[in-house]
């Protein structure tokens, strides 16, 4: 009877939703909204999960004054006029835009060994990723699967299609990959849980082209269905996307090229150069979690 009750707790439908929002108004304007949802269906020897995530952040540029045309005196030198101005407060513009959707099915071969298949897609505007799609399959191990302690690892092959904002001649947008995933949960007492979810994908034709996504989180239950969670996510691209940036020339009053600019220099945009984006993005999130 005890074994049947334990199995009943581990099977059925499960859903966990994370919501976070930060809004500022006044001298600065910003808006950040985060959403994550994990829907799972567990049977005695198989499981299905659907994961959806989205993070959107918007902020406004610094306010500035625009010359009021009604205060301009025609024919008078600019430096001799006393302009009025109109305060311009720019609206919110996107700063961060992340989204992910992934589905996966697992089926036990033995009590501790399983196979899995899945597919997903994501985009990350700031990292230069317009769209990234992946289909994968492989095997894995369930090391622990009981209330308060879960650990599983999965390994397999993937097919990837990546579209970046700036095309990279050194990368193939379609490639086969080697994939690893680890999911760990450990409960400390009745109210606190630590979670670590880690995903790695490597290009098999170019092992230096790999990425990983790791999330560490602490969740504290307030009720049976509600909890507060703090999480830190690392998004790492060993060979990040290219970007085109302005090439700026700084000169002093005599026309000599200088850098850095000490505040009394001329700034001239002379073209564009190509560089790579940063390898690591870190996202700290405080959220409300609803589970049922």
Domain at 231, CATH number: 2.40.160.40
- What pLDDT score does 239 carry? 95
Q: What is the 3-state secondary structure (H, E, C) of 58-89?
A: EEECCCEEEECHHHCCCCCCHHHCCCCEEEEC
User: pTM for the whole thing?
Assistant: 0.84
* Confidence (pLDDT) at 71: 80
- The pLDDT of residue 3 is 52
Number of domains comprising the chain: 1
Mean pLDDT of the chain: 88
- Mean pLDDT over 231-241 rounds to 95
Three-state SS for 160?
Answer: strand
Instruction: Assess if residue 64 is contained within a domain.
Output: no
Q: Is residue 81 part of a domain?
A: no
Residue 133, domain extent:
8-59+87-241+277-291
Burial code (b: 16+ CB inside 10 Å, e: under 16) for 68-106 equals eeeeeeeeeeeeeeeeeeeeeeeeeeeebebbbebebeb
- Is residue 1 one of the residues assigned to a domain? no
Q: Using CB atoms within 10 A of its CB, is residue 115 exposed (0-12), middle (13-18) or buried (19+)?
A: middle
Asked if residue 222 has pLDDT above 60, the reply is: yes
Q: Is residue 24 part of a domain?
A: yes
Torsion of CA 164, 236, 136, 205, to 10 degrees: 70
Alpha-carbon gap, residue 156 to 182, rounded angstroms: 12
Q: Please indicate, yes or no, if residue 259 is contained in any of the structural domains.
A: no
Rounded to whole angstroms, the Cα distance separating 262 from 253 reads 12
For residues 228 and 219, give the distance between their C-alpha atoms in angstroms, rounded to a whole number. Answer: 6
**Mean pLDDT of the 101-110 span:** 96
pLDDT at residue 21, as a whole number:
85
Q: What is the DSSP string of 186-217?
A: EEETTTEEEEEEEEEEEETT-TT-EEEEEEEE
Inter-CA distances, 127 with 48, 199, 213, 239, Å: 30, 18, 13, 11
Q: How many CB atoms lie within 10 A of CB 201?
A: 20
Q: What is the pLDDT of residue 159?
A: 98
Strands 92-108 and 174-188 come out as unpaired
Q: Residue 255: is its pLDDT beyond 70? A: yes
Checking if the pLDDT of 263 tops 60, the result is yes
> What confidence category does residue 164 fall into, taking pLDDT thresholds of 50, 70 and 90?
very high
For residue 265, is it within any domain? no
Q: Is the predicted pLDDT of residue 27 greater than 70, yes or no?
A: no
CB within 8 Å of 128: residues ≥ 6 apart: 164, 165, 166, 240, 241, 242, 243, 277
């Amino acid at each position: 009877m005890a074994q049947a009750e334990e199995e009943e707790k581990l099977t059925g439908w499960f859903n966990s939703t994370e919501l976070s929002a930060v809004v500022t108004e006044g001298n600065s304007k910003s808006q950040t909204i985060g959403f994550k949802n994990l829907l799972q269906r567990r049977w005695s020897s198989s499981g299905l999960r659907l994961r959806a995530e989205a993070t959107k952040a918007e902020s406004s540029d610094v306010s500035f004054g625009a010359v009021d045309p009604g205060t301009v005196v025609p024919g008078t030198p600019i430096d001799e006029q006393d302009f009025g101005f109109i305060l311009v407060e720019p609206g919110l513009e996107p700063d961060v835009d992340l989204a992910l959707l992934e589905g996966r099915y697992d089926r036990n071969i033995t009590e501790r060994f399983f196979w899995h298949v899945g597919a997903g897609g994501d985009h990350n505007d700031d990292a230069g990723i317009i769209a990234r799609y992946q289909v994968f399959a492989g095997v894995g191990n369930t090391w622990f699967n009981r209330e308060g302690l879960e650990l599983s690892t999965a390994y397999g092959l993937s097919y990837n299609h990546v579209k970046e904002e700036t095309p990279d001649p050194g990368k193939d947008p379609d490639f086969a990959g080697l994939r690893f995933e680890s999911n760990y949960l450990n409960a400390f007492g009745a109210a606190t849980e630590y979670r670590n979810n880690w995903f790695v994908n490597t290009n098999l034709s170019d092992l230096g082209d790999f990425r990983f996504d790791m999330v560490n989180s602490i969740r504290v239950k307030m009720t049976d269905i509600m909890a507060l969670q703090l999480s830190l996510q690392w998004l790492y691209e060993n060979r990040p996307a290219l970007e085109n940036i302005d090439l700026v020339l700084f000169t002093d009053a005599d026309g000599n090229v200088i850098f850095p600019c000490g505040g009394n220099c001329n700034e001239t945009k002379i073209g564009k150069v190509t560089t790579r984006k940063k390898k690591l993005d870190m996202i700290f999130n405080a959220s409300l979690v609803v589970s049922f």
